[in-house]
Structures are given as structure tokens and as C-alpha cells.
Structure 1
Amino acid sequence: MRFSNPQASPLPLFLYTPSMDTTPTTQSVQVQHIRNATVKIKYADTTFLVDPMLARKDTYPGFEGTFRSHLRNPLIELPMPAEDVIEGVDAVIVSHTHLDHWDDAAQKLLPKGIPLFAQNEADAQIIRAQGFTDVRILGEDTVFEGVHLAKTGGQHGTDTMYSSPELAEILGKVMGIVFQALDSKTVYVAGDTVWDSEVDQTLAKFNPDVIILNTGDARVTGFSDSIIMGKDDTLHAYRAAPNATIIAVHMDAINHTVLSRKELREYVQQKNIQDRVLVPADGETLKF
């Protein structure tokens, strides 16, 4: 099993809390789902590219030791040229360095001097070794161009999976990201995590208006549980965050995802939660 590739200045603390009045919103938030977990977020006039996987269809072998590993990744093409994806991007955020979140194509296309945020020093060293010169560690309150970015926790699989040292090393550490700015809605990108106490803590602390969930229900061989969220987690989010819009992504593009967008859309209709759950097409842009 193999998920990986071979191979800010301190500013005054600012943090919204649920008790603060953030009702007036004057700046729109634009979320463009690209493909898989890749998302382009225009936030407070700053554009972030999160978890870029920009390769052409069938570029990489399937992930060893996972569901449908005989298929090549990505399973589908980008909805636009990769050059259009990176156009206008001010900074890149890599939640973790697994191939389906940070691939060779993205490494080749992105300018080596672009500001890039990683979850920890280990990932930062990997990315610097790939030639990037402005790699920063995302913290609990990192500020970039007036946008406050907060690293959040998560776990890329179940406790049982992480009890296996070999599998725990493969799954590795992951993070989510919260975006905040004055007069802007709070956006929470949960990342590659199952639903755990850290997700609950993030919802309680930040009370996000928009939640982006990786809901492809990805499976590894020998385990019946997923290493990320699935359809039931979408319903859980709907109930746990009654004022938030949920955007479900990370489906249809990678060999080990079990849940398709078609199936999730049907589930959303069955549960009558379509008023706040969105399952965007590749390339679709949502505004809040």
C-alpha cells in the first residue's frame, strides 16, 4: 500500500469564537470544486488552492492494498486545463502529502516561489526538497493577506487501523483548515479524516458557515471501515451543524473510494437534507 510520492511571519492573534456576532457578511466566499479533494477557494479577495492533484487521467497506478487497486488514478480528467486551475492562486495549502492531495503534476506546474502551507515540519521538508522555496507551517492562527487560517485535527482512519504500526505510518498525519476573516463566512475544510472528537471540537470552537467534507468512503484491504468520511457522516454533519452548508467532495476520482456522487445525491434526497448539502460537479463554483 502506498499513498505518497517517491521522493509566516507571526502576526497578532485573531480568532472568532461562537459567541462573537459574525452575522453581517459583506465579502462573498467562492468555492470551486476542481476534482477529488482539490478545491479553489477565493476568500476575502485572496485565492487559495487546497490539495492540488492535477495529473491527467490514468497517470498513476492504483494505490496498493486498497479497494480496486487495479484501476489507474485519477479515474477521470480535470474539468479544465491544469494551467487554468492554478491561474490567480495566491497560496497553496497541502493538508498532507499523499499522492491524491499533492501530486507530481502539481509540483511541476506550480511556481516554486509560491507561498505554500504544510501541516508540519516533516511535510514541509518533503515539499522543500521538491524545490519549493516559501514553505510555511500552518498553525492555530496563521495570517496570510488578512485571512486567518487555523490548523485543525483529524485522523485518517480508525483507531484499529492506527494500532497497526505499518498502516499507521502509511496513513500518516493529516489536518483540516478553517478560514476566517472580518465580514466573511467561516469555512471549514475537514480534510482526510473520519468523524472523531477533533471534528466535534472544531465545530464547537469555530461554528463554521460552510463545511467541506471528503466523503468518498475510501477503503483499504482487510478493513470494513473507511479511512475518510462517507454518506452517514454527511448526515451527521447536517445534524451537528444546523446552520452550516455542507459541501461533499473526494468522490469518483480515485480507485479506493467506494461512494459515488450519484449514490450520495440519492442518499441526500432520501434523507431530505438537500437544503443544506451540496454535491458539486467537477469545476462547479459555489458562492456564499
Structure 2
Amino acid sequence: MKRRDFLKTAGTASLAAPLALAGTTSASTAGSMSQGGLTITWLGSATMLLTCGDLTLLTDPCFGEGDKAFKMGDPNEMFDLAKGPNIKFHRRLTPFQGIDLDTVDHVLVSHMHEDHFDQEAEARLAKNIPMMAPTHDLDTLTQKGFSNLSSLAWGEKKTITKGDVTVEITAIRADHSENPEIAAILGEGNGYWLTFNRGDWSYSVYWGGDTFGTKPVVAALEPLGSPDLFIPHLGSVGTTGPLGQISMNAGDVAVFAALLKPKKILPLHHSTYELYLEPIHHLAEALDGAPYGLDLVSEGTPVTYT
């Protein structure tokens, strides 16, 4: 069995209501970009549009809605590890805000679990759209018919340029579990360090992907310093199943952020799906009094960082 295929082969905790929070930071939701500026629009799950000048990146595309938003194994249910999880449809709790795919220049994928690249996105994305993914997932994307692919292994860098905007992308190790054996079962994934440059303006983003702040991950980040923006994945997924916790909870993010020392935090991977177990208000409580800004935004709300 391929490790990435584990969730494809075979009691949910109480959830928060769909998120409806305004930003709680000094970032502007309509800020002007005279020379620089990065606008991020969260579309649910780990799906974002990152727009700087004429360049737009789409992350971890998930477009499905309703009771059958996507199909995947359920890490929250008990199952026999030797046989794999129950494959089932998963429910989306929030409406998808929609996307104009003609505006997207490049797709950036952290890994190929279906809550990060769902069946609806697979059907809607043009097969020749430029896409960057972990080396581990190239074969899967090729089998799905995508042809304009590039890959990054941990530590590798690539640059995308459009107009006067350049973004340097560095792949960062992502550990899907703090248990190395479970992380190996779930397969390698990427986080990404993105440095946007426009004129003399520069802005750094660490998008963690499905990772914990393990010692190897922290060691990989140390040479890069502190990011302007930290984008963690939450949800505390798996805590009720045999894999154990496979996405961070609020306490994990608080510890990770204390090591990273970002200027701001924009959390993803919460509230969208029934799959996510921990309500997002736990993060606001865990970071109360912390020295960095916390953006809690509703899906579809653009936030501009300057």
C-alpha cells in the first residue's frame, strides 16, 4: 500500500458553528498596495488565494460542498490499522464561496489527502494548469491527468515571477503526526516558506501544511528566521481514532508560534468540515496575551498584509 493511499483504503467530538469572525489584527481587509502588499482570501479548509500584484496562487484546492463534499477515509473513527479506515463522504459545514479559476496563475499543493485536494477540484481544474507539489505526489497527479507539474523536495527552492512580482518558494518538512511511525503511514507532505518581493517591498509567509512543530521541522525553519505571517493548520483531527492526533490543536500552535515568533498568525484547516474536531475559539484563548496579531476571518474575506 502506498503511504499516501492509507486514508483511501478502507463518535465525532462536538464542533464549533461555522466561523463568522472578523479579523482581530492590524492587517487591512481592503488595504491599498501602492508598491507592495499581499492579499489572502481563505476559501475554507486549507484553500487560499494569495494575490500580490498580478500574481495569484491557489493552495490545496477543495471545492466540494454539502454532505458529500469529498470522499476519504475517516481518521476520527476507530478502525483496524491493518485494514485501513472506512472510506466515506465527508460533510462541509460552510458554503463554498466560489472561485474564478481564470485568475489563478499557479496551484501550490501541500499533499494529496482529499481534504486538501478534493474530487470536485480534480474535476474542475484545467489539466494543464501550472501546479507545484511534493515530489512524493507527482505520480498521483500525473495519473489524474495533470501535465504542467513541478515538484519540491524538502529544502528545495523555486521562484515564480509575473510582472514586477517574484515569489521564492522553499519546501519545508511537514510531519503529519508527532509519532514518526504514523507520519510515515500518512506520507510525506510539504509546508512552504514563501517570500514575496515587489520593488523594495518584501514579505515572508510560512504556510505549515499538515504539520506539527516537531524538532526536525523547527530545525528546518531556524535558518529562515521569523516569518511575517504564520499560517498553521488546526482541527485536532484524529484524536478519537487509532492514528491519534494528526493535525495541531490550539496548544500545539501556541507552542510552535512561541518558537517561530511570527508577527501575525492566520489559522486555516478549521471549522469548514465536520472532520475538524476542535472549535477555533480555543486558539484565541490559547494565544490570549501573545505578542503577535491573530487573524480570525470568515471564509471569503480578503485580508491584505503590507
Residues 108/30 of structure 1: CA separation in 2 closer, same or farther (3 Å cut): same
Structure 2 gaps, min length 5: 11-33, 79-85
Q: Which residue of 1 aligns with 2:218?
A: 200
Contact 1:35–1:253 under 8 Å retained in 2: yes
> After the TM superposition, which residues 230-269 of structure 1 pair with which residues of structure 2 at under 5 Å, given as runs?
230-268=249-287
Count of aligned pairs between the two proteins: 259
Aligned to 2:266, the other structure's residue is in SS state strand
Aligned to 1:163, the other structure's residue is in SS state helix
The one of 127, 145, 149 equivalent to 2:169 is 149
- TM-score, normalization by structure 2: 0.75
Note the C-alpha offset of 1:67: 4.5
Contact 1:154–1:193 under 8 Å retained in 2: yes
Note the C-alpha offset of 1:272: 2.3
Note the C-alpha offset of 1:51: 0.5
The one of 63, 67, 74 equivalent to 1:64 is 74
Partner Cα distance (2:122, 2:9) in 1: 11
Q: Which residue of 2 aligns with 1:219?
A: 238
- TM-score, normalization by structure 1: 0.80
Contact 1:5–1:97 under 8 Å retained in 2: no
Q: Does 1:131 align with 2:163?
A: no
Note the C-alpha offset of 1:240: 2.1
Cα RMSD over matched residues?
2.8
Partner Cα distance (2:257, 2:178) in 1: 22
Residues 119/287 of structure 1: CA separation in 2 closer, same or farther (3 Å cut): same
Aligned-partner residue type, residue 3 of structure 1: L
Contact 1:67–1:257 under 8 Å retained in 2: no
Contact 2:9–2:87 under 8 Å retained in 1: no
Contact 2:71–2:119 under 8 Å retained in 1: no
Question: Deviation digits for residues 86-129 of structure 1, max 9, x if unmatched?
Answer: 34110001111100011111111111111001100x41121111
Aligned-partner residue type, residue 250 of structure 1: H
Q: Which residue of 1 aligns with 2:17?
A: none
Aligned-partner residue type, residue 63 of structure 1: G
Q: Which has the higher contact order (CA 8 A, sep 6+)?
A: 2
Note the C-alpha offset of 1:180: 1.2
Q: Which residue of 1 aligns with 2:48?
A: 39
Residues 4/104 of structure 1: CA separation in 2 closer, same or farther (3 Å cut): same
Contact 2:254–2:286 under 8 Å retained in 1: no
Q: Which residue of 2 aligns with 1:50?
A: 59
Partner Cα distance (1:71, 1:284) in 2: 30
Partner Cα distance (2:220, 2:75) in 1: 31
Aligned to 2:174, the other structure's residue is in SS state coil
Note the C-alpha offset of 1:152: 0.5
Aligned-partner residue type, residue 276 of structure 1: G
Aligned to 2:192, the other structure's residue is in SS state strand
How much identity, in percent, do the aligned residues show? Answer: 21
Partner Cα distance (1:168, 1:112) in 2: 29
Structure 1 gaps, min length 5: 7-24
Q: Which residue of 2 aligns with 1:119?
A: 134
